[in-house]
Structure 1
Amino acid sequence: MPRRTPVPVTGEIASPVQDGYTYVELDDAAAAGSAMLAEECALAIAYNGIGHAVMMVSPSAIEDFVIGFSLSSAVVESVDDIYDIRIRRSGDTLSADVQISNRAFWALKQQRRQLAGTSGCGLCGVAALEQALPQLTPLPSSSLPPAEHLRDLRTRIADVQNLARHSGALHAALYVDRAGEIGLCREDIGRHNALDKLIGALCRQGRNPRQGFVVITSRCSLELIHKAVRGEFATLVSLSAPTDLSVRWAREHRLNLIHLPHHSAPRVYSPER
């Protein structure tokens, strides 16, 4: 997954300075205060000039997000299929124009044709179901991380969640290296977005995701398992309990899946014991 040369990225995405928002407490004292809030904006992604997706994101580490989204959504098979990213901001909107290889662009257009061709024929849900339950290549089996690397992890995560500490309302995805240290943290209003940002950051920095493990602060649903497998992680740790389907898919695709409860020992759901 690591790229030999960096993906060229151009554009200005600086966020406006936020002074905080005033509020009044709803009680007899009616005390007034001010709070920083999580920033949110709309991001439109186009591949080779054709619009593909619009989503709400936090406007930080957008380059990482675009790369991670492209990989985890199977728009490209490799980061080497991404040639250039141009990002623009206008008020509360962002646009990302991504240049990808002819091979990846042809595959994307074929996918779009299949989706368009099913409407009105009684099979309109088939393509969507295929995307929801895609064929994924199982990972190589990997050993579980040492238990001591999970010790006090919740506290350590809180210490590095800089955006959430100031505004709240943000999920995080983090990479813990083979020494048990938190090496990367990416945050977003969307839990999928945070994981995409982390995948992109690992690619841009040339880090091997299998040499450590990844942590998500949200619940673990099937879509996050898809992204973890496509991101070639060895282990995914979730601070909230996984769904039954996510456990079954993790076991089937040899992704180590661990739930870290608030007041109990880590629970290994995959591999099955």
Structure 2
Amino acid sequence: MPVDGARESPVTEYFANGADPRALTRALVEEAPVAIEINGIGYAVMMATPADLTDYALGFCLSEQLIGRAGEFVAADAFAVPDGGWMLRVTLDAPAAGPLIERARLRLAEGSCGLCGIESLEQVLRPLVPVSARLDVAKAAVFRAVAALGDHQTLGRITRAAHAAAFCDPDGTIRMVREDVGRHNAFDKLIGALARAGIDPATGFVVLTARCSFELVQKAVIANVPVLATISAASTMAVDQARAHGLTLLSLAREDSLLET
């Protein structure tokens, strides 16, 4: 059955034991340049999986702080272009599009660096509003979510090449998952999907199938996520930013262990 974000491709499988190679068809995760145009201005080109692009557009605008709330997002129109890429045309409420003007250039950010339009160290390290949400999440709930995550990763399961971002209730029940070839993109898609569904990120926690970098912590803080858990380790800058902004950061989260930093 076809899955959004995957494409069948012929491959040849080889074996270490010397058995004859065999030809087969395998699902590969889609990766394509997605040009983001906001209110008619070229803003960025991201390498992303062209699925759930309306969620992505809204989450991207919120994470980039181009808008402060979902109500300032008007629409997104996504369509394939002849060169193999995608165009994502976003319309924001005109007064809300002010921050776009100074940062309006076409940029390439491979893998969705999460720092689009940032041109100085001061901008990268700009102060953020600390996380105001407080949520008591038992470690058992995180273990439960991590153990169940694989069952919710449709794209990851068939391609073995997609990241996932999951929003979980405080008891560890997974409520929503978004996937993408890029970990930042997956998180933006989740943020956008939550906003479209009217779900407050402060009411649960997020699990990411990724190492925890500075940009992912920034996205969590901006979204007012109280607890962020990542499958792989955190960087020094991610830990420093989480501590400075009141985000509970859990890393190397497995079914039986995790680190709180």
Global fold match (TM > 0.5): yes
Deviation at 1:16, TM superposition (A): 9.1
Instruction: Give the partner amino acid of 2:61.
Output: S
> Does 2:102 correspond to 1:81?
no
CA contact 1:161–1:172 (8 Å) conserved in 2:
yes
**Following the alignment from structure 2 to structure 1, what is the Cα–Cα distance between the partners of residues 130 and 65?**
15
Indicate which of 139, 163, 166 corresponds to 1:147.
139
Deviation at 1:210, TM superposition (A): 1.0
> Does 2:12 correspond to 1:23?
yes
Note the residue ranges of structure 2 that are not aligned, 5 or more in a row: 106-117
Deviation at 1:243, TM superposition (A): 0.8
**Following the alignment from structure 1 to structure 2, what is the Cα–Cα distance between the partners of residues 17 and 143?**
36
Aligned to 1:43: 34
Aligned to 2:63: 72
Aligned to 2:246: 254
- CA pair 15-150 structure 1, distance change in 2 beyond 3 A: closer
Of stretches 241-250 and 137-146 in structure 1, the one that deviates more from structure 2 is: 137-146
Deviation at 1:87, TM superposition (A): 1.5
**1:220 aligns to what SS in structure 2?**
coil
**Following the alignment from structure 1 to structure 2, what is the Cα–Cα distance between the partners of residues 134 and 191?**
22
| TM-score, with length taken from structure 2 | 0.86
Indicate which of 44, 49, 52 corresponds to 1:61.
52
**2:229 aligns to what SS in structure 1?**
strand
CA contact 2:6–2:30 (8 Å) conserved in 1:
no
Of stretches 248-257 and 94-103 in structure 1, the one that deviates more from structure 2 is: 94-103
**1:166 aligns to what SS in structure 2?**
helix
1:182-221 equivalences in 2 (<5 Å): 182-221=174-213
Instruction: Give the partner amino acid of 2:19.
Output: A
Instruction: Give the partner amino acid of 2:42.
Output: G
Deviation at 1:21, TM superposition (A): 2.1
Instruction: Give the partner amino acid of 1:22.
Output: V
1:1-16 equivalences in 2 (<5 Å): none
Instruction: Give the partner amino acid of 2:11.
Output: T
How many residues align structurally?
245
Bigger radius of gyration, 1 or 2? 1
Deviations 1:98-124 (A, max 9, x none): 1112223222113449xxxxxxxxxxx
1:226-237 equivalences in 2 (<5 Å): 226-237=218-229
Deviation at 1:46, TM superposition (A): 0.6
Indicate which of 173, 176, 182 corresponds to 2:168.
176
CA contact 1:144–1:235 (8 Å) conserved in 2:
no
Indicate which of 77, 89, 95 corresponds to 2:87.
95
**Following the alignment from structure 2 to structure 1, what is the Cα–Cα distance between the partners of residues 125 and 15?**
46
**2:66 aligns to what SS in structure 1?**
coil
**1:59 aligns to what SS in structure 2?**
coil
Aligned to 2:115: none
Note the residue ranges of structure 1 that are not aligned, 5 or more in a row: 1-13, 114-125
Deviation at 1:263, TM superposition (A): 7.0
Indicate which of 126, 133, 138 corresponds to 2:125.
133
Of stretches 29-38 and 260-269 in structure 1, the one that deviates more from structure 2 is: 260-269
CA contact 1:72–1:196 (8 Å) conserved in 2:
yes
CA contact 2:204–2:226 (8 Å) conserved in 1:
yes
Aligned to 2:111: none
**1:37 aligns to what SS in structure 2?**
strand
CA contact 2:209–2:230 (8 Å) conserved in 1:
yes
Deviation beyond 6 Å, 4+ runs, structure 1: none
Aligned to 1:161: 153
